[in-house]
Chains A and B, each alone.
Chain A
Amino acid sequence: AQKVTQAQTEISVVEKEDVTLDCVYETRDTTYYLFWYKQPPSGELVFLIRRNSFDEQNEISGRYSWNFQKSTSSFNFTITASQVVDSAVYFCALSNAGGTSYGKLTFGQGTILTVHP
């Protein structure tokens, strides 16, 4: 069985602060994929990044960066110089490649990020 844990329920920061959202996953598969999605107040789910289990390179996209560490089963997300528009719920998700998963996503509980001006 797979599981995703986002231990931080809510985080509150002031604009321009850096913030890291933690994600820890559990899976028995050796091939799997990790995702981050953003859910702004409007409610839709927006894809941010996908990582496969064989690629542990960190990724940076503008103010966003992701740190994938298989040794600790973690896939953390950092926002540098946060902005008010970053306020949203952020979800980490896991998709196993094996068995009958067929790409279904297992989501963490989400982290509510509030960025104050």
Chain B
Amino acid sequence: DSGVTQTPKHLITATGQRVTLRCSPRSGDLSVYWYQQSLDQGLQFLIQYYNGEERAKGNILERFSAQQFPDLHSELNLSSLELGDSALYFCASSSIGLAGNEQFFGPGTRLTVL
């Protein structure tokens, strides 16, 4: 158990809908990362937050947004969902969010868009 929690574990929804994925980092970790794992794209970095502020952005679609709250949990919002958004979404946390910090991954949320 990494100490990172993600909810829900599974999510099935329809095209055009909006969903929210939630992540609680390990106790004491200030930085949260979101990654998407799909069959065609592999594991890709989406976005990083540190202590409530956005720090780095990767290949995140404009339909996706995220935030980190004062209690350090983070939410990833996916809207106008398309079939291609079906993937496993991971949240990871690290202590201060710098290169070399070990990232601890949550169990992931499997999103299926029908």
Residues of chain A touching chain B, judged by Cβ–Cβ distance below 8 Å, are 31-33, 35, 37, 43-47, 50, 52, 91, 95-97, 100-110
A102:B97 contact, CB within 8 angstroms: yes
**Least distance between B108 CB and chain A CB atoms (Å):** 6
B42:A103 contact, CB within 8 angstroms: no
Closest 4 CB pairs of A and B: A45-B105, A107-B43, A97-B99, A33-B100
Per DSSP, chain B at the interface is: strand
**Least distance between A55 CB and chain B CB atoms (Å):** 11
B99:A47 contact, CB within 8 angstroms: no
A105:B45 contact, CB within 8 angstroms: yes
Task: Provide the residues of chain A in CB contact with B31, threshold 8 Å.
Answer: 102-103
**Least distance between A88 CB and chain B CB atoms (Å):** 14
Task: Provide the residues of chain A in CB contact with B7, threshold 8 Å.
Answer: none
Q: How many residues of B contact A (CB 8 A)?
A: 30
* Chain A residue at smallest Cβ distance from B6: A44
* Chain A residue at smallest Cβ distance from B58: A104
Task: Provide the residues of chain A in CB contact with B97, threshold 8 Å.
Answer: 102-103
**Least distance between B68 CB and chain A CB atoms (Å):** 14
Task: Provide the residues of chain B in CB contact with A101, threshold 8 Å.
Answer: 56, 99
Q: Which of B37-71 contact A (CB under 8 A)?
A: 42-45, 48, 50, 55-56, 58
From known contacts A45-B90, A102-B56, infer whether A52 and B48 are also in contact, taking CB-CB under 8 Å: no
